[in-house]
Structure 1
Amino acid sequence: MPTELKMPALSPTMEEGTLAKWLVKEGDAISSGDILAEIETDKATMEFEAVDEGTLLKILVEEGTDGVAVGTVIAMIGEEGEEVGDVSQAAPEEKSAPEAAPTPDKGYGRDSAPAPESKAVAPAAPKKDGERIKASPLARRLAEAQGIDLTSLTGSGPSGRIVRADIDAAAGKGGAKAAAAPAASAPAPAAAPAEVEPLDIPHEVEKLSNMRKTIARRLTEAKQQIPHIYLTVDIQLDALLKLRSQLNKSLEDRGIKLSVNDMLIKAQALALIEVPECNVSFAGSNLIKYSRADISVAVSIDGGLITPIVAGANDKSLSKISTEVKDLAGRAKEGKLAPEEYQGGTASISNMGMFGIKSFDAVINPPQAMILAVGAGEKRPYIIDDSVQIATIMSATGSFDHRAIDGADGAKFMQAFKKLVENPMGLVA
């Protein structure tokens, strides 16, 4: 009997996508693990991997088709020569369960990138002897390297597929399952904005990309549903800039050059560990508390922003953070990040100092409970030892979810961050 291939949900926020390109044609033999197509989501172009084996009998959705809803039947596979019956529905499956409150992920905003929403995933059924285990290639490699038995895991990916987060959780690294907790049902989505007729002025109409649609939706949800509280501090950067210069001289032979942002990522991560009340997520009747600081770093890309994650930044050296950020940012701009590299994060940082922005208030990436907005370092008059001197000063503003974080705890975090930046030897200790 022919098997339906359906438009996959390649990220938790994905509701529809563009079937950019078929990499196989009708009549081709398909093996498990083969790459069938390239699909554009709201964040990147990703590969659609075959799970079942057989022959591609019929393609139902042509390449280049926009707005293909998740669950739509896009092709049929089966035995060679097998007849394909009518697939008149070619439409998404009905959702049988309500969406759950989102788990930590990246967020979209003017100053940050899209945050995926988690959808309730039914636990995978126990595997029977001889039954093929559904797992991503990366998850298989990680499991083999760490000696983890895949048959003992329950996948949290599409159709119960085992993904990297499940391996991390099994290894005790604080992956998706480690962070999971009961959460209240997500509120009803906001009503779609009314269509606006263009003014009688010369203009052109540009169709919104999937990414820009998600940015608009997530920004609206974040500002409507999260009570933001903003706390700003001025920080003297001179000591950090001097240390950075010294470290960069010692790292020249290794081809590593630290940025100020690399050092701020480390400072934010250490401050979150020092003030754990801010390393949390609000989850309805529960508060999720994290023991590791995974920092989502805002990166501007064509058509929007994305926040790749520096996992466990509190335990990583500055050189490791710098190398990771450069690699993640480069692949983000090329649309080559894997989902597990931008889904998650316990807090975010957005640095607009390179644009000369003095200070700004960032929008929280739900369900994270805080984001740090960093402005430019500039020479300003500053009181040092009871006298007015010229110093390099940076303004940093923390946005906190007031449902999860009290103002006093947010202030403690900002105080800890300021102390670490102004006494930067603590970043390398």
Structure 2
Amino acid sequence: MSNEITMPKLSDTMEEGKILRWLKHPGDKIARGEAIAEVETDKADMVLESFEEGVLDQIKLNEGESAPVGAVIALMKSAGAKESKPQAKSDAKAAATGESKSRAQSDEKPATLDAMENPGAEAAATPDVPKPVAIKPKAAEKKEPARKPISPAAVVTDGSAGDLHVHPAMSANLSAAPTAIAAPPPRPEPPKPAVDDEAGDGHKLRASPLARRAAEEAGIDITHVRGTGPDGRVTKRDVDNFLREQQLFKFRRLVSPREGAPGSREELSAMRKTIAKRMALSKREIPHFYVTVEVAMEDAVRLKDSLEATELFEETVTYNDIIVKACALALGRYPRINASYEDEGIVIHPNVNIGVAVAVEDGLILPVIHGCERLSLLEISRAAHRLVAKSSRGGFTSDELSGATFSISNMGMLGIEHFAAVIVPPQAAILAVSAIKDRPVVRNGQLAVGKTMMMTGSFDHRIVDGVVAGRFLQELKRFLENPSSLLL
């Protein structure tokens, strides 16, 4: 008897999924944890894997077709089972033995979503019914943990305002095969003090073990990285710079004018449909108000430059890392900003989970750095670099795309001087960060040139009053203008 594989619910807002490509075909053996199909959801294209092992018996949903959550998309049998027989012969055999057709159908009722998520519960209630085969999303590597449903608050955009994230190295593509990044190299041997590889041009490639590990995690070919160390040795910093250049290229391609003839019509993808619903809900339901502050950034620029020059950190600390750390400290002093409006009440969250908006092919996603109130600037930088590596090769987990309590949207890369972002429901606020610019400032009564940055907070007036929002931004400004406090 075949076990039924059903369409799983991969996000809170998902109602149906579309099969993009079957990775297995009838008769193929399937190991536990092996990928069987690529599915388009309302958040991203996900690779699905099986919790059970067996042989794929029948495919019920063809490539390009959609089905609601819980619908049967394929049948799988145990490895030792016989080939499935035509339905007519099965019915004839059932009639000959006195079994009714309805009894035969009841033995193969579709597995529900609850049963898929908790197979033991249905098995205990109905011992004769085979355990449904559950499938889970698979990231770019099989060792990635199973994803949980993605929170609907994990996507944010405002097409009219051009609300795109411009983290210097965090433009993501969730597809399994990134467009601008080379294919992952074979897993190297255990690190050695110094190893020489044969590069494509016949020269020897020297790279530190740390650089090799970083390149492997990011899924890039280290032979494409130009080394700046002794004798052209590739360092971890070289890999970071290479990643940043690649992400910059991808981001500029993403924000360039899209193809399409005037007067044409484009169908919305599942992600774009979700973005449209969530942003319309945000603007319709949340009473936005906006507060802007100008921040002197000379000391922050010097801090970043000195950290890079002294190479105290393995990772290059970015301005976005500095802003995330400053926000974490300011939110700790103004916890009402780190809140949500839920069920006619206000929930103040115990942890500061900051989401950073990232541009993707068809919208935005919101990778989250969890527990920022406990993290040092170095730890925040490391967490951000891990997300950079994920964005290069795809494979975010649902945990990394959900649970944000506060959001940051940064357009500094584009030289934008001022903009306002749309709040991600049910959060209380989002911070829009603009470019650091040389502007005229007054110091001690004298006109001078200073490096300043505009920040605009969008706040939910049901949760936050104007005075509290203003004080929060002043506290954030104070931390950024005194960045040595961020190192404590």
TM over 0.5: yes
Letter in 2 for 1:290: H
Q: Which residue of 2 aligns with 1:23?
A: 23
TM-score (norm 2): 0.63
Letter in 2 for 1:24: K
Task: Write the distance in 2 (CA, Å) between the matches of 1:107 and 1:419.
Answer: 30
Task: Write the distance in 1 (CA, Å) between the matches of 2:40 and 2:483.
Answer: 42
Checking the alignment, whether the CA contact within 8 Å between 1:29 and 1:56 is kept in structure 2 is yes
Aligned-residue offset at 1:416:
1.0
Aligned-residue offset at 1:239:
1.0
Q: Alignment partner of 1:322: what SS? A: helix
Task: Write the distance in 1 (CA, Å) between the matches of 2:333 and 2:87.
Answer: 62
Task: Write the distance in 2 (CA, Å) between the matches of 1:91 and 1:203.
Answer: 44
Checking the alignment, whether the CA contact within 8 Å between 2:13 and 2:152 is kept in structure 1 is no
Q: Does residue 408 in structure 1 map to residue 467 in structure 2?
A: yes
After superposition, the CA RMSD in angstroms is 2.9
Match of 2:480 among 421, 424, 427: 421
Checking the alignment, whether the CA contact within 8 Å between 2:12 and 2:152 is kept in structure 1 is no
Task: Write the distance in 2 (CA, Å) between the matches of 1:325 and 1:311.
Answer: 11
Q: Which residue of 2 aligns with 1:364?
A: 423
> Is the radius of gyration larger for structure 1 or structure 2?
2
Assess, with a 3 A threshold, how the Cα gap between structure 1 residues 374 and 10 changes in structure 2: closer, same or farther.
same
Checking the alignment, whether the CA contact within 8 Å between 1:302 and 1:333 is kept in structure 2 is no
Aligned-residue offset at 1:317:
2.4
Q: Which residue of 2 aligns with 1:268?
A: 327
Aligned-residue offset at 1:230:
0.8
Match of 1:238 among 298, 308, 325: 298
Aligned-residue offset at 1:54:
4.0
Q: Does residue 4 in structure 1 map to residue 63 in structure 2?
A: no
Q: Alignment partner of 2:55: what SS? A: strand
Q: Does residue 398 in structure 1 map to residue 457 in structure 2?
A: yes
Assess, with a 3 A threshold, how the Cα gap between structure 1 residues 17 and 314 changes in structure 2: closer, same or farther.
same
Match of 1:277 among 329, 336, 359: 336
Q: Which residue of 2 aligns with 1:165?
A: none
Q: Which runs of 5+ in 1 are unaligned?
A: 96-101, 114-200
1:366-398 superposed Cα distances (whole Å, 9 cap, x missing partner): 111111001111111223334433211111011
Q: Which residue of 2 aligns with 1:381?
A: 440
1:157-191 superposed Cα distances (whole Å, 9 cap, x missing partner): xxxxxxxxxxxxxxxxxxxxxxxxxxxxxxxxxxx
Q: Does residue 342 in structure 1 map to residue 404 in structure 2?
A: no
Task: Write the distance in 1 (CA, Å) between the matches of 2:407 and 2:62.
Answer: 38
Q: Alignment partner of 1:345: what SS? A: coil
Q: Alignment partner of 1:403: what SS? A: coil
Checking the alignment, whether the CA contact within 8 Å between 1:108 and 1:215 is kept in structure 2 is yes
Aligned-residue offset at 1:349:
0.3
Q: Does residue 13 in structure 1 map to residue 23 in structure 2?
A: no
Q: Which residue of 2 aligns with 1:250?
A: 310
**Matched length:** 333
Task: Write the distance in 2 (CA, Å) between the matches of 1:240 and 1:202.
Answer: 45
Q: Which residue of 1 aligns with 2:57?
A: 57
Assess, with a 3 A threshold, how the Cα gap between structure 1 residues 104 and 288 changes in structure 2: closer, same or farther.
farther
Task: Write the distance in 1 (CA, Å) between the matches of 2:29 and 2:113.
Answer: 30
Checking the alignment, whether the CA contact within 8 Å between 1:256 and 1:323 is kept in structure 2 is yes
Task: Write the distance in 1 (CA, Å) between the matches of 2:333 and 2:30.
Answer: 52
Task: Write the distance in 2 (CA, Å) between the matches of 1:424 and 1:351.
Answer: 19
Farther-moved stretch of structure 1 (334-343 vs 223-232): 334-343
Q: Which residue of 1 aligns with 2:71?
A: 72
Task: Write the distance in 1 (CA, Å) between the matches of 2:367 and 2:314.
Answer: 22
Match of 2:349 among 290, 304, 310: 290
Letter in 2 for 1:225: E
Checking the alignment, whether the CA contact within 8 Å between 1:107 and 1:366 is kept in structure 2 is no
Q: Which runs of 5+ in 2 are unaligned?
A: 89-104, 115-149, 166-260
Letter in 2 for 1:284: D
Assess, with a 3 A threshold, how the Cα gap between structure 1 residues 104 and 4 changes in structure 2: closer, same or farther.
closer
Letter in 2 for 1:106: A
